[in-house]
Structure formats: C-alpha cells, structure tokens
Homo-oligomer: A and B are copies of this chain.
Amino acid sequence: MLTRSEEDHIKAVYALLQDNDSAFTKDIAERLRTKASSVTDMLKKLAEKKLVKHEPYYGVKLTAKGEAIALQLVRRHRMWETFLVNRLGFGWDEVHEVAEQMEHVASDKLIDKLDAYLGHPSFDPHGDPIPDKHGKIRARKTKRLSTCMQGDSVRIAAVSETTDGLLRLLDSKGLRIGSVLSVQEVHAFDGSMDVKPKSGAAFSLSKDVSHHLQVEAA
C-alpha cells in the first residue's frame, strides 16, 4: 500500500511527463508545495519500490508499474470531480481540492461502482479524459488555443490548468467545455487573442488564458 504522499508524488511526476519526457525535482516540489530536498528523498524511496526511474541530476520517469498507479489515481481524481459536479452540484472551480483528498480512498470496488453510477463518463468537468479501469485513455487530437491562427474555428475541449481563478474567469465570459469560438485576430505584441463565440460579441483573451485552453477543430 502507498501513502498519500507517495501517491501525490507519483501523480505529480505523471502530470509533468505529459509535457516533457523527464520530470524534474524542482517542478515536482513546486506542484506539491514542498521543497526539492523532500522530493529527492521521496524519489529515492519510489525508485527503491521500482515505481520511478531516477537519474540523479537528470530527472525522473515512471516505470510501467508507476504509470499504472498514476493512471489509477488520475482515474479516481477525475471520477470524483465528475461526481461532485454532476451529482452534488459543485461548480467546476470548487472540486479540485476535495478530489485531491478523495482520490486517496483505496477501494477498487468503490471506483467501479462509482463509474457505473456516473454512467461510465469519459471526461471530467474540466474536459480531461478519465482513464478506464485498465488505465486506457481515449486519445484526442487537441492543441492549445494559443497556437491557433486568425480564422480558425475551434471547440473548447479541456482546461489544462485547474486553478479556480482561471475557471471563474471562463465562467464570467460564458465559456465552458464545448463552447465554439472563431479566432478573429492575434496580437503579436502580447499574444492576446480576439475571439468570437457562436452567439454574442467578440472579446479578448490573454495569452495566459489561451495557453491553458485545449481546443479541437470545430
């Protein structure tokens, strides 16, 4: 059995490996709001348990076993977020912290039953895919809104960074998963972007925001 801290470290490594092919001590520490030295200690322990491969000074990767655990945690996290939003009526900006705790409840039967109860959802409230019980994730071809060009018409597929501030900002602009936007103009100066929703007036999104929106062709 893994401790909560071990689980959180594995999940952090997994998350960082989505963007780069090695995860670094400093970034793990930042994600977990802890210190680099603590992370080094934990990486050593996880390496002994054969859950990560740690090349000191050169970063860390997950073993197959470690990745399977990470996927299970991601599954639990996103499943609980879905429950909280779809069943209990939480806002999508309110669920992250609670799911961060619930994901550590250890019971395979619980997650299987929850999965059925929720109707085997494929995506969480932030548009992120929910791995199935074998860890399989449905592949999608998405890109960041910030990489789109003038004239592109796109649908918001997911919000990649789960900070409540960003989610509330999207709420205030009426944006949600599934919203369709056309890119009117991209400003070279600050990377901001003018977009127009299907119905309603165009408005501007900062690069900070567009960078965190995953979109697919509409």
Contacts and interface: CB of A to CB of B under 8 A. Distances in A.
* Copies of the protein in its oligomer: 2
Given A94-B109, A109-B94, A88 B117 contact: yes
Contact of A88 (B90, B98, B110): B110
Interface residues of A, number: 19
Interface of A: 84, 87-90, 94, 97-98, 101-102, 104-107, 109-110, 113-114, 117
B114 A88 contact: yes
A113 B113 CA distance: 20
Contacts of A105: 98, 101-102, 105
Contacts of A107: 97-98, 101
A101 B98 CA distance: 14
B88 A113 contact: yes
A90 B102 contact: no
Contacts of A94: 109
Nearest to A104: B101
Contacts of A117: 87-89
6 contacts: A84-B110, A88-B113, A94-B109, A97-B107, A98-B105, A105-B105
A4 to B, nearest CB: 9
A90 B114 CA distance: 11
Contacts of A87: 117
A33 to B, nearest CB: 15
In this complex, the member of A102, A104, A106, A107 whose beta carbon has the largest number of chain B beta carbons within 10 angstroms is A107
B113 A90 contact: yes
B101 A106 contact: yes
A79 to B, nearest CB: 12
Nearest to A110: B98
Nearest to A100: B105
Contacts of A109: 90, 94
A89 B117 CA distance: 9
A94 to B, nearest CB: 7
